[in-house]
Amino acid sequence: MNTTFVPLIHKSFSSPGLGCVTFGREIDRQTAFALMDYAVENGITFFDTAAAYGDGASEKIIGEWKTDRRPYSDAILIATKILPPYNAGSIEESVNRSLQRLRTDAIDVLYLHRWDAAVEDVAVLGIFNELISAGKIRMLGASNFNAAQLTGAIQLQENNGFDVFTTIQNNNNFAVRDINSQILELCLDHDIKIVTYSPLGAGFLTGKYQKGVEEGTRFSLIKGHQDIYFNDASFQRLNQLQDISARTGYAVPHLALAWALHQPHITSVLIGGRSTEQLQQAFSALDFYDPDVFKA
């Protein structure tokens, strides 16, 4: 069923943005459609997905939604990601498959989903540049790169007259900070847009994993999260949030979202989930500001 949307003027990054990692993996097509409808109705103009999410299911659902919701869906900025190997055959094949699943002629933002040594190869960067020139990619992004990796890639691009990375997407929340001072300085110097994901630490910052990992949760579906968050530093920061929550009366997830959404120089914070209620939490945190709480 079509929904009445408020018309959008042009594609742009919004904060929050909609993270679509759950589509086709944790929520079905109908629920994902409802989530995208709600996002657009509330001013979100930026959706983020990846070829790896649900083994292509997330891209496919977004493509179906785009077709069903036109012309309003054409104003949504959509980012997707491809994984290594980064070589001529695999890059073009991955991009073409994403284009097909997303039902579009051009990918608004294509992220390299993670660093790989192939990024140091001028020929590989040249392939991405050719795809930009051909109109299949509008912007190129780097995801999960550190400052040294991004610096090296940009230098190669500039030395060879290529279009450079225009956006980076890294994990950044109260427990784990992958947007450090070096990344921030580099992005400000090169006018690179910063997108962050996982403001609740895939649920870690709700406190749900303090007593272990239950089946069906994000940490059970993607066990790599446990390696990232199950350490003394992250649990110490969670305890800090819980102490502030106890003193102020604000819920721990609300405080975690508010911290992420109010970080300076961040273009967009991705909010994912399984329900519209989780997006409502983000909107509430975006409107929240208490200097004493942020100082704490």
Between helices 147-159 and 181-190, what is the axis angle to 10°?
20
Is 53 part of the annotated catalytic residue set? yes
Q: Which tokens is 29 given?
A: 């097509």
Q: Catalytic residue, from 53, 111, 197, 229: name it.
A: 53
b/e per residue 182-217 (b: at least 16 CB within 10 A): ebbebbeeeebbbbbbbbbbbbbbbbbbeeebeeeb
> Cα 25 from chain centroid?
16
For residue 78, give the nearest of 134, 116, 39 by alpha carbon.
Answer: 39
Burial of 235 (0-12, 13-18, 19+ CB in 10 A): middle
Select from 76, 23, 52 the least CA-distant residue to 143.
Answer: 52
E-assigned strand segments in 133-174: 137-143, 167-171
Residue 165 contacts residue 141 (beta carbons within 8 Å): yes
Three-state SS letters, 52-84? CHHHHHHHHHHHHHHHHCCCHHHHCEEEEEECC
Considering only CA atoms, which of 218, 214, 170, 167 is closest in space to residue 53? 218
| Residues belonging to the active site | 53
